[in-house]
A and B are shown apart, each in its own frame.
Chain A
Amino acid sequence: MKFQEYLPLATDLVFYIFCAVAVGGAFYVLMAKNVLYAAYGLLCSFLGVAGIFVFAGSEYVAASQIMIYVGGILILLVFGIMLSSGKKSGKEYLKIKSRNLTWGLTLGLALIAIMTIIISTIRFDFKQKLASQSIKNIGFSLMTDQVFALELVGILLLIALVGATFIAKTDE
C-alpha cells in the first residue's frame, strides 16, 4: 500500500480525533467540579469544533471560531469567573453544584435518541457536485449579497457594547 492510499484513512482519523476532543471537552464541562476547569474543558471543545469546521471546508469560519470563541468569549467568561469570585464567598465559590444531574443526563440522552432516529430515517440526496469554496468568495459575498447581515451584526455589536457598559457601570 502506497502513501496515497493511507491518506484518506489518516484524514478520517484526524477528523474523528477532533470530534472526540469536541465531545470530550463538552462532557468534561458537564462533569467538572470547578468552574475554572470547566472553562478549560470548554476551550478544548471550541478547538475541536474549529477542527471540524476545517474538515467541513470552511477555513474562514474555523479561524473566526478560534478568534471569537477562544480569544473573546472564553476570555470574557474567565474574567467573569474571576470578577464574581470574591473573598466573601471563600473557596467554595469555584465549586459547581448540580441539581438533578441524572434527569439532565436522561434529557440529553433522550434528545440524542430522538435526533438519531430522525437522522437515520432522513435520506439526504445531494446530487450536485460540491461547490468550490474560498475565502475570497466569502469576502465578495459579505460585501454584495449578504451585506445586510454584516450591517445587522455591526449594529447588534454596538448595541451590545453600549448595553453591557451601561449595565455594568457602578451606581454612584
Chain B
Amino acid sequence: MASYLPPAVRRHLSALRMLLVLTVITGVLYPLAVTGVAQAAFHHQANGSVVTQNGMSVGSSLLGQSFDLPKKNPNNPDEAARPDPKFFQPRPSAGSYDPLASGASNLGPNSPDLVKAIDDRRAAVAAFDGVSPEDVPADALTASGSGLDPDISTAYAYEQVDRVAAARGLSPRQVHTLVADHVHGRDLGFLGEPRVNVLDLNRALNALSG
C-alpha cells in the first residue's frame, strides 16, 4: 500500500480490498457452489417443484394458485374472479395468488376492514359451498402470510366436499375418500399443522372424473 497516503485513506482502501475479497468468497463462490450441488442433487426442488401433466406445467406444488372460472371478458381487469365450483378452493390471498406480489394484508387485529372482509367471506363461502356460516373454518376466512399458501386445513377441505361432488356429478363419499387420501399430517408427526395441498387434490380430482 502506498505509504505516502494519509492513514485514513489507506485504511479505507484496505477496507475496500477486504470487502471485495470477502465478496468473491461469500457472494460468488458460495452461491455458485450451493447452486451447483442443488442443481445436481435436487434438480426438482431447486427449480421450484414444478408439477407437469402431459408435458405441460400445471403449477408448483409449493405455490398456491387460483381455481377460477374463465373471465367473461379477458380484457377487463376489474371483473371480479368467480371461483370454479368443480375445484377445491384455496385460502383468500392478499395478492390474488400472483407470485410477483407475495405478502399479507397487514390489517390489524381490530381493523374494521378486516372484520368486514371476514364477515363477507363467511357469507360468500357458506353460500358457495351450501353450508351454514358457522361451519366455515378460520383458514377459509383469513388471508395467508405469503399470499401463496398452497394448503388449506383438513376442515376446509371436507367442508367443500359436497359442493365439489355435486358440480362434478360424483358421489360425496368418493370425494370424501379422495380428500382423506390427500391429508398431509404434521411434518415428522409434530411439526406445523396438518393440511391438504390444493393443487394435488384438484389434480387427483381431475384424474378421478376424467
Q: Are A and B physically bound partners?
A: no
Partner-B contacts on A (CB < 8 A) = none
Residues of B bordering A, CB below 8 Å: none
